[in-house]
Structure 1
Amino acid sequence: MTQEIHGTVADGFEGVREEFAAFVAGERPDYEGQLCAYVHGRKVVDLWAGTEADALYGVFSSTKGAAYLVVALLVQDGTLELDRKVTYYWPEFAAEGKGALTLRDLLAHRAGVVGTDSGFTLAELADDRQLAERLADQRPFWRPGTAFGYHAMVSGALAGEVVRRATGRTLQEVYQERIRTPYALDFHLGLPAPHEPRFRTIQPMDPTPEQQALLDATPTGPHTLTSIAFNRNATEPTDLASLPNMPLVRAKGPASVGGVASARGLAGMYAAAISEVGGQAPLLKPDTVAEFGQFHSVGYDLVSRAHRAFGLGFQMTADVAHPFLGAGTIGHSGAGGSQAFADPWSGLAYGYTRRRFAFPGGAAPENDRLAQAIHTAALAL
């Protein structure tokens, strides 16, 4: 039985509802997901199926978008300087030959400390302070600044320690005070206990036989860069899909993977970043968006073993995922299938969440058709 489509779209975006309905009709009967979008600060799409409008999901690495938005704000304020060495803020980071690395290169996944030799415990993964302490002492896996690789589980902790040293506040606290609370965003780095009943447990990936064959054909040993970056070299290897289901992770909200959000929360955050929302000026000035949306690391990613592109932390979404988007689009996807971004050229802010972990991980394939339908409608306005 096909799930019923709920919610509203603005005039001119009727095709988005049709595209969402067509996708849901082809999905499993137990599909749950949400889609939301703003154009120039006005909500134009607010749809969901198989769930409630205000359900919350673990959004995995879409969390990183909130972390980098905090850093962008502090750079804009002058509190942080991109070309200062990380050790100016965090002296202990100099250990094992990392002393010359700049904040710019740290954000661009060029530090080389994608994990540690022995991996992390669950308690460490949930706590950015503990992660940062371990990473400060870690020998880098490549010469810092000379190459790049996705710091999947630790980039938020690395940026967060710089934020803490510079401000005396955790990244999560700055996010709460300057971004989440002023805009009443349903996007939490540390889920408050009263909101726990709204959380929907992430369901594991359910690959087809053909997809499972692809997974089986590409094994990775426990000591490869890929395994180290995803903490599969730990005594108890991390099951990435289960992380948001762990209360400790939800409560602490680690800035790499621990965010909990609705599609409304994801889209609303990016709308606030680039547009006037509710009479409030955009969080970021155009020059700041342009700086963080410049290509900084492009080419072969040593961790992902594929072509990737990063700006200052943010994924270069128009290059990697959605080539129809404007240059300088900033955003980040999550392993479970979520996607979120802001396209400053069209004024589009997009958020998508789903309950079942998507194959093969990262932005779920349906994001391409959904985002393109919204982008087309936005350009026609």
Structure 2
Amino acid sequence: MKQLDHPVSAGSSGTVAEGFAAVREAFDAVAADEPGLSAQLSVRLHGREVVDLWTGDGVDGDSLFALYSSGKGAAHLVVALLVQDGVLDLDRPVAHHWPEFAAEGKGALTLRDLLAHRAGLIGVDEGLSTATLADDRSLAERLAGARPYWEPGEAYGYHAFTIGALTGEVVRRATGRSLQRLYRERVREPYGLDFHLGLPESAEPRYLPVQPLPPALRARAERQAPAPRGLTGIAFNLHAEPPTDLAEFANTRAVRAQGPASSGSVGSARGLAKLYAAAISEVDGRPPLLGPDALAEFTTPHTPGTDLVTGETGHFLLGFEAQGVRYPVLGARAFGHSGAVGAQAFADPGSGIAYGYTRRRFSFGGGGGASENHRLIAAVTACARNAG
């Protein structure tokens, strides 16, 4: 396979490797369908970069976007590494490390249950402030004594704002270091990843603030918004006073600086793709981060049935979203995580694909990755299959 070629069209900027021109065509078609789109797409195959594209005014490959729940993928990669190291045991109760967590009938809940979004700790009755949501330790302290919204371990629902704080507190109690610090030391810095759980001040000039939905689409979204006090509304903190506005949240410097693992990630498509490439492939002369046993464990489906928050079926593997359910063109073991703005990222161990897609503004109905990811992923997988 040749190295990346120079741009060959007047549409997107960036490069693709020989055999991946169809991905550029798909990316350009996405941009043509949504005037004013600012987005990036990066793909690696068996660790090597094969796609590096971007579009939009003021955007380049080094631009940094708010990527929200994409951080859950980085967080759970750290957890997988600690399980692989023997530091964490998936079937040990959370309260073994964190005694306060046992309150309100949560004492038997295991780390495996927690990673499968079975704790029922999707929020608190009175809602949470931005300051608490931005600080994983404060959020964990608030949740430890909270009443779960269903019998722990008996059902599952997406812990949109809380899962990173919960798993992060287990990590902190077991290691004495924050999840964000471990991610920086073990993953981001060794691989030079432009994907952050805690954005340094020096990188702020590259951050492009989130653009909210255009007024017409915003009005439509508001009409279709979930009931604030239903499980979905509580999980997304819509019952708080004031309810959380996602664009305002990400555009707050304190959120970016602290990097809450559930909701505060910032980065580029390049950073996302390289993160997942490192998980499954040799990158920069380093072996894959996850060995066969850890990879098998964390890519096993853990949530049959319906997610009480999102309504999705079979939503999670272990910590990661089941991307093969969302995108059937991928293998059953494809794992990753989306971000609220419409971002998507994953690794597909069967094909060797690592994929990162970012957007600057929200996509209507973009929960779980903006709809254009279906078109882009289809093009990527077809090209990768032909590349061999």
TM-score, normalised relative to structure 1: 0.96
Tell me, which stretches of 5 or more residues in structure 1 are unaligned?
Answer: none
Alignment match, 1:349:
354
Alignment match, 2:24:
17
Alignment match, 1:280:
286
Alignment match, 2:41:
35
User: 1:101-155 CA distances to partner (integer Å, 9 max, x unpaired)?
Assistant: 0000000000001011111111100000000000001011100000000000000
Alignment partners' CA distance in 2, 1:90 and 1:236 = 31
Aligned length: 376
Alignment match, 1:270:
276
SS at match of 1:125: helix
Query: Partner amino acid for 2:302?
Result: H
Alignment partners' CA distance in 1, 2:10 and 2:34 = 9
Which one of 187, 209, 232 corresponds to residue 195 of structure 2?
187
**TM alignment of 1:63-142, pairs within 5 A:** 63-142=71-150
Change (3 A) 1:159 1:3: farther
Structure 1 residue 247 and structure 2 residue 253: aligned?
Answer: yes
User: 1:304-351 CA distances to partner (integer Å, 9 max, x unpaired)?
Assistant: 2343410111000110x2111011111000110100000000000000
SS at match of 2:69: helix
SS at match of 1:284: coil
Query: Partner amino acid for 2:69?
Result: S
Per the TM alignment, residue 213 of structure 1 is displaced from its structure 2 partner at its CA by 4.4
Alignment match, 1:260:
266
Which one of 368, 371, 375 corresponds to residue 377 of structure 2?
371
Which one of 286, 306, 309 corresponds to residue 315 of structure 2?
309
Alignment partners' CA distance in 1, 2:143 and 2:114 = 12
Structure 1 residue 324 and structure 2 residue 329: aligned?
Answer: yes
Query: Partner amino acid for 2:120?
Result: G
Alignment partners' CA distance in 2, 1:8 and 1:134 = 46
Whether contact under 8 Å (2:320, 2:337) holds in the other structure is yes
Alignment partners' CA distance in 1, 2:40 and 2:228 = 35
Alignment match, 2:206:
198
Alignment match, 2:3:
none
Whether contact under 8 Å (2:221, 2:364) holds in the other structure is no
Per the TM alignment, residue 8 of structure 1 is displaced from its structure 2 partner at its CA by 0.7
Query: Partner amino acid for 1:229?
Result: A
Whether contact under 8 Å (1:3, 1:49) holds in the other structure is no
Per the TM alignment, residue 361 of structure 1 is displaced from its structure 2 partner at its CA by 2.9
Which one of 221, 229, 234 corresponds to residue 227 of structure 2?
221
Query: Partner amino acid for 2:29?
Result: A
Structure 1 residue 358 and structure 2 residue 363: aligned?
Answer: yes
Structure 1 residue 163 and structure 2 residue 171: aligned?
Answer: yes
Per the TM alignment, residue 377 of structure 1 is displaced from its structure 2 partner at its CA by 0.8
% identical aligned pairs: 59
Query: Partner amino acid for 1:85?
Result: P
Change (3 A) 1:14 1:137: same
Per the TM alignment, residue 299 of structure 1 is displaced from its structure 2 partner at its CA by 1.9
User: 1:216-250 CA distances to partner (integer Å, 9 max, x unpaired)?
Assistant: 1x443322111111111212210123221110100
Alignment partners' CA distance in 2, 1:286 and 1:379 = 23
Bigger mean CA offset, 225-234 vs 190-199: 225-234
Whether contact under 8 Å (1:125, 1:131) holds in the other structure is yes
Instruction: Supply the RMSD in Å over aligned alpha carbons.
Output: 1.5
Alignment partners' CA distance in 2, 1:181 and 1:162 = 23
Whether contact under 8 Å (1:94, 1:136) holds in the other structure is yes
Query: Partner amino acid for 1:179?
Result: V
Which one of 56, 73, 90 corresponds to residue 64 of structure 2?
56
Alignment partners' CA distance in 1, 2:66 and 2:25 = 26
Per the TM alignment, residue 206 of structure 1 is displaced from its structure 2 partner at its CA by 2.4
Query: Partner amino acid for 1:23?
Result: V
User: 1:36-78 CA distances to partner (integer Å, 9 max, x unpaired)?
Assistant: 0000000000001111110000001111000000000000000
Query: Partner amino acid for 1:141?
Result: Y
Whether contact under 8 Å (2:68, 2:264) holds in the other structure is yes
Change (3 A) 1:302 1:365: same
Whether contact under 8 Å (2:162, 2:262) holds in the other structure is yes
Alignment partners' CA distance in 2, 1:167 and 1:43 = 34
